[in-house]
Structure formats: C-alpha cells, structure tokens
Amino acid sequence: SKRLIEWLTQLGVSDKKSQHKEMPKSIWNASIETKIGFLQGYFGADGTIDASINHQALAITVSSTSISLLQSIQLLLLSVFGIASKIYFYSRRTSMLPDSNRNLKEYNVHDSYKLTIGKNNRSKFMNTISFSLTRKNDKYKNIFFYEII
C-alpha cells in the first residue's frame, strides 16, 4: 500500500538496485534493540555459516554486491558491539545459476563482496546478535559443538 511505502521510505528503506543498497540511516540513531533486530534480520536473510569440510575453520558471513552496505554493517558491528570483521572482494562476470526450470544457465552477475566474522569474533556475534532464524543458530551450535570436541 501507499502508506507502507511512505513509512518504509521515512525509515530509509529505498528501491535502489542491489549494488547501490545502503543501510538505512535511521539505524544509526536507533536503540540497541533495533540495531540488533536489523542485524539479526539481515544476517538471518542473507548470512550464512561457512565451515570447512573438517570443521577447522568456521566463519559467519554475509555477501552483497553493495560495498557501501557491507561497510556500514562492518562499522556498526565494530563501533556498537565491538565485533571485528573483514570484507573480501569477489570479481565475477558470469555465473552458472539455476533458471526457472532448475536447469543451470550462465548469467551475467555483478562483482560481490563478503563480510566475514572470523574465529576471534564469531562467539561475540552469536552471544550478542545471532541470526533471526533458529535453523541458522542451530547450525552454528552443532558445528561449534563438533569443533570443540
């Protein structure tokens, strides 16, 4: 509805293309609970837990084509919660992705970036923020349990 669009626009949500997305400016002045909710939602939707085959490496990651968005999230994590992270660049011009019939097809894609919360900060992230989805929190707990045995 028009009222919903107006309300989201006031919060700083925009209809920009993915590579131009930014964190809503309202998050900077929001309460800690709102900041946590924003990060939980973002990591719940787009984040993942990267674990090596032998579980020797475990990181919490989120990818985007918007470096600006990830830099803002990185700054928010560090300045408000003391959680350090790194951003890595991935250059890809094409990628094999499933089409509407689930057949692999080559698509043109934008370069992407991955924000990574590594070994020294992942527990702080999980204890302070965590994911909005139970299955992702459970995956972390299961892998971490396996990792410390």
For residue range 69-100, what is the model confidence (pLDDT) as tens digits? 999 999 999 999 999 999 999 877 767 777 88
Partners of residue 117 on adjacent β-strands: 60
Phi, psi at 29, each rounded to 5°:
-100, 5
* Token duo for residue 12: 């700083």
Q: What's the pLDDT score for residue 149?
A: 39
Measured CA to CA, the distance from residue 119 to residue 83 in angstroms comes to: 11
Give the residue among 3, 18, 15 at the shortest CA–CA distance from 113: 18
Give the residue among 75, 70, 104, 106 at the shortest CA–CA distance from 90: 70
Residue range 10-34: mean pLDDT, rounded: 76
Strands (E), the chain: 47-51, 58-64, 86-90, 94-98, 104-108, 112-117
Measured CA to CA, the distance from residue 34 to residue 57 in angstroms comes to: 31
The whole-model pTM stands at 0.74
